[in-house]
């Protein structure tokens, strides 16, 4: 059974702090990794994708991938109340198959 | 062009009835996915269409669920003899090529089975 695990939270951080969201996956041969943000009552939207080990930065967001540890994370710098949402980690095990989503981590940023 | 569209946005039905949910992917996207999201839960994969290949139906929870796609266009998810546990938001997504590409989600159909 291929699994993607996330802490459900809620993760609470003050405005301006760094939020760190973590995800582990069970299948070592997984190839592609995605972070989606989902506001309450809305559909998911892509934040970051990462395919190789290391860090990938996009504005206030940094995705980190460590395939040896089967671990992918998302850092949000200078967190804002508008970042409050559920963050979904998704993993693609092999080409031609659908993504496997974690259950999501709820982030709450207080002003 | 426009994003992924889904209809209806809300559907209330009685237990035992059949329902059809529609998804219009982004034009030119060859891959289309259906997911189910129960209240407070993550996304549950249902079915994946990729071009003219046989669909991946491995996520369909029972034989009451089926889906079709006409070429690289519209898809319909059908749930027969609905049960209360089918109540959820049904999300459709599409991507340019395969599953490693970014998936763009539609707004979802909220299904309530009374």
B59/A46 Cβ within 8 A: no
* pLDDT of residue B18 exceeding 80: yes
Strand locations in chain B (E): 5-7, 10-13, 19-24, 31-37, 44-50, 65-69, 75-79, 88-95, 104-105, 109-113
Give the mean pLDDT of chain A: 92
Q: For A35, which residue in chain B has the nearest alpha carbon?
A: B102
pLDDT tens-digit map of B65-100: 999 998 888 999 999 999 999 999 999 999 887 656
Which of A5, A37, A98 is the best mutation test for B, with the most CBs of B within 10 A? Answer: A98
* pLDDT of residue A28 exceeding 90: no
- Given its phi and psi angles, is residue A33 left (phi above 0), alpha (psi -120 to 50 degrees) or beta? beta
B98 → closest Cβ in A90, A95, A104 = A95
Which chain A residues have a beta carbon less than 8 Å from that of B60? none
- Residue scoring higher pLDDT (B97 or B9): B9
Once rounded to an integer, what is the mean pLDDT over residues B19-23? 98
Chain position carrying tokens 């959820």: B88
Count other Cβ atoms within 10 Å, centred on residue B58. 11
Once rounded to an integer, what is the mean pLDDT over residues B33-60? 90
Please give the pLDDT value at position B33: 93
């Amino acid at each position: 059974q291929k699994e993607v695990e996330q802490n459900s939270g809620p993760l609470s951080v003050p405005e301006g702090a760094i939020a760190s969201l973590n995800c582990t996956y069970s299948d070592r041969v997984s190839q592609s990794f995605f972070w989606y943000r989902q506001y309450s009552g809305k559909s998911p939207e892509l934040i970051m994708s990462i395919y190789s080990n290391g860090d990938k930065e996009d504005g206030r967001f940094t995705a980190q991938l460590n395939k040896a540890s089967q671990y992918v994370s998302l850092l949000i710098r200078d967190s804002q109340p508008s970042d409050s949402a559920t963050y979904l980690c998704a993993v693609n095990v092999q080409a031609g198959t659908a993504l496997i989503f974690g259950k999501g981590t709820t982030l709450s940023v207080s002003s | 062009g426009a994003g992924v569209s889904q209809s209806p946005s809300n559907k209330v039905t009685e237990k035992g009835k059949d329902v059809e949910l529609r998804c219009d992917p982004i034009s030119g996207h060859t891959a289309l996915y259906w997911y189910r999201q129960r209240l407070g839960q993550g996304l549950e994969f249902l079915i994946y269409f990729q071009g003219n290949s046989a669909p991946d139906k491995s996520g369909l929870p029972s034989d009451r669920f089926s889906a079709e796609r006409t070429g690289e266009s519209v898809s319909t998810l059908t749930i027969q003899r609905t049960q209360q546990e089918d109540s959820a938001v049904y999300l459709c997504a599409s991507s340019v090529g395969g599953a490693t590409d970014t998936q763009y989600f539609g707004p979802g159909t909220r299904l309530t089975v009374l």
